[in-house]
Amino acid sequence: MKVAIGCDHGGYNLKMSVIEYLKKIDVEVIDFGTDNDKDSVDYPEFAKEVCKRVVDKDVDFGILVCGTGIGMSIAANKIDGIRCAVLSDTFSARMTKMHNDANVISLGERVLGKGLAIDIVKAYMSVEFEGGRHQNRIEKVMELEHK
């Protein structure tokens, strides 16, 4: 499995914790930055880089981290082909993959602790998209990008 990950300065520390976890379970991680929590950076640039890899199918999914997860998810969802969910609990993490086929998840460092964030990533990775009745709904959502 291969994952693209990116953050702004507000998500740097949580991003590093998630990377540490993913590497521990032998997931290949491509880190698109940022490289510290000191320098203020613009989160849309990092969302764009991660989402490009997801759309191009270079990775299995993407993870974005900022202070709340909200800004990153808004930026990500502007990109054709991306379905990004801001997550703050494990139930939503499973459901967004099973029913919404989310291909990017967004986490907030100032909202989540390290343990919960890793549990959310585990929950998301533990399930598959169910397809079936959900596929038609996903197609309708994706049509909204083109109108």
CATH of the domain at 70: 3.40.1400.10
Judge contact between 18 and 117, C-beta under 8 A. Answer: yes
Average pLDDT over residues 40-64: 98
Distance from C-alpha of 20 to C-alpha of 30, rounded to nearest angstrom: 12
Q: What is the pLDDT of residue 34?
A: 97
Domain, as residue range, for 122: 2-146
Percentage helix, strand, coil for the chain under 3-state DSSP, each rounded to 5: 50, 15, 35
Q: What is the pTM of this model?
A: 0.96
Per-residue pLDDT tens digits for 72-95? 999 999 999 999 999 999 999 999
The count of structural domains within the chain is 1
- Which of 73, 67, 136 lies closest to 102 in space, CA to CA? 73
Catalytic positions are 66, 99
Per-residue pLDDT tens digits for 99-117? 999 999 999 999 999 999 9
Q: What is the pLDDT of residue 146?
A: 80
SS3 139: helix
